[in-house]
Amino acid sequence: MLTLKLISEETERVIRGLNKKHFKGAEEAINEVLAIDKRRRETQQELDSNLAEAKKMAAQIGTLMKQGSKEEAEEIKKKVASLKEVNKQLEETKAQAEKDLVAKLCTIPNIPNDDVPEGKDASDNVVVKEGGEMPNLPEDAMCHWDLCKKFNLIDFDLGVKITGAGFPIYVGKMARLQRALEAFFLDEARKSGYLEVQPPYVVNEASGYGTGQLPDKEAQMYQCQLDNLYLIPTAEVPVTNIFRDEILDEKDLPIKRCAYSACFRREAGSYGKDVRGLNRLHQFDKVEIVRIDKPEHSYQSLNEMLDHVEGLLKKLELPYHILRLCGGDMSFTSAICYDFEVWSAAQKRWLEVSSVSNFESYQANRLHCRYRNSETKKTELCHTLNGSALALPRIVAAIIENNQTPEGIRVPKVLVPYCGFEMLDDKNF
């Protein structure tokens, strides 16, 4: 969440940033934060004054008792008792103000970096880079859901029988290709200096709150209500929460972690042709990269993460472009975000396969993730970053469609050593 220091010292910049994100009622929300904080500070000042007065009167009582002025001492005791009652009310008022302040701050999104373009929705995102060769397919080229049926690669209907729509079953060579992609992505992350971890697939409320999924995306998460736990929408949540309530050494930054996980998303309200096949699932696999860094170095880290993801798409021989998201299309928590999209030749549309974001100090403030400055010895908020490297379903969709032949689907050369075959076909064993 935004820090009080930022809101109070750079109020106009914060309001401009929230307006750039098209956050409704930006000025009213910030003014409410400032009003609550003023109430909290004034209450604290009155409480401090009362405590000082009570201490002074307590000293007077002792002196009066020694002087034999018992009646006067008793009168002061009554005043002290009365002050204690007032202080009790002030403590309650302060506690409520602090609670109200945090609750209000949690409803306010991060403000965008200056490099974020103006815009209301995805149509205003800016293409900053393109790469790869567009495939030249015949007019009768098939979409991936038809190819999967033709070669018995993915059974969407069986997934519906067992669980419901959006939970496909991968069969034979396709299951092996899934494993190959996971291993390839993890190996590439390791080569880039990321330490692999295996996180839990369920998290508690504190973890969801720390990375900003709660309360913003509560309706999009699957909840284990009996235990009040949530299935993770991305490995970003458990991996970043490793550093919740931690004070890190500056010399250890940037910290780089990667993780494979299944991801679970309700995707409430999603329907239509754009969600067919692998385009939008409730359960899918993904490799995530996470960095914890110093503020002055985090944008170099962001560029390195962008280079890493681009390198994966080049090795998979997929045509891609990179978008810098406009203010209106950014997530609640990000300060800047880049989306990678690959070309789906049969569908004739771009499919998002990765988002790489710098959250600056927004998540770190919620997580209480700090580092100790080696010069000042003071603790400061870290910057957190994450990116998909990569999400599998739409990568698989593009590979299947772009590399289709009458005999089967050609496997990208970089994956052949991982899966042990060169073609996805109906010879599934």
Contact indicator for 112, 118 with CB cutoff of 8 Å:
no
User: What is the pLDDT tens value at each position of the chain, 429 positions in all?
Assistant: 999 999 999 999 999 999 999 999 999 999 999 999 999 999 999 999 988 888 888 888 777 777 878 778 778 888 888 888 899 999 999 999 999 999 999 999 999 999 999 999 999 999 999 999 999 999 899 999 999 999 999 999 999 999 999 999 999 999 999 999 999 999 999 999 999 999 999 999 999 999 999 987 778 899 999 999 999 999 999 999 999 999 999 999 999 999 999 999 998 655 555 789 999 999 999 999 999 999 999 999 999 999 999 999 999 999 999 999 999 999 999 999 999 999 999 999 999 999 999 999 999 999 999 999 999 999 999 999 999 999 999 999 999 999 999 999 999 999 999 999 999 998 866
Q: Which amino acid, one-letter code, is at 122?
A: A
Residue 85 assigned as binding residue: no
Fold agreement (4-105, 122-424): no
Residue 41 assigned as binding residue: no
Q: Residue 348, SS3? A: coil
Encoded tokens for 255: 């910290």
CA distance 112 to 311: 26
Residue 53 assigned as binding residue: no
Which residues fall within 8 angstroms of residue 399, CB to CB, at 6 or more apart? 316, 318, 409, 411, 412
DSSP 369-388: -EEE-TTT--EEE-EEEEEE
The pLDDT assigned to 309 comes to 98
Contact indicator for 350, 344 with CB cutoff of 8 Å:
yes
298-315 helix and 173-191 helix, angle to the nearest 10 degrees: 140
CA distance 165 to 257: 32
Give which of 225, 241, 211, 202 is closest to 106, Cα–Cα.
Answer: 211
Query: What is the bridge-based pairing of β-strands 320-324 and 283-293?
Result: unpaired
The pLDDT assigned to 239 comes to 98
> How many of the other CB atoms lie within 10 Å of CB of 21?
21
Residue 27 assigned as binding residue: no
Residue 234 assigned as binding residue: yes
Q: Which residue reads 């306010």 in tokens?
A: 108
Residue 428 assigned as binding residue: no
β-partners of residue 342 are: 320, 351
Give which of 208, 218, 215, 11 is closest to 107, Cα–Cα.
Answer: 215
Residue 331 assigned as binding residue: no
Domain ranges of the chain: 4-105, 122-424
CA distance 219 to 199: 23
CATH topology of domain 122-424: BirA Bifunctional Protein; domain 2 (3.30.930)
Encoded tokens for 144: 């991936």
Encoded tokens for 77: 């005791």
Q: Residue 129, SS3? A: strand
CA distance 131 to 150: 30
Phi-psi region of 424 (alpha: psi -120 to 50; beta: other; left: phi over 0): beta
Residue 196 assigned as binding residue: no
401 burial (CB, 10 Å; 0-12 / 13-18 / 19+) is buried
Q: Which amino acid, one-letter code, is at 299?
A: Y
CATH of 4-105, one of 1.10.287, 1.10.8, 1.20.120, 3.40.190: 1.10.287
Using the Cα atoms of residue 332, residue 337, residue 339 and residue 340 in order, give the sign of their dihedral: negative
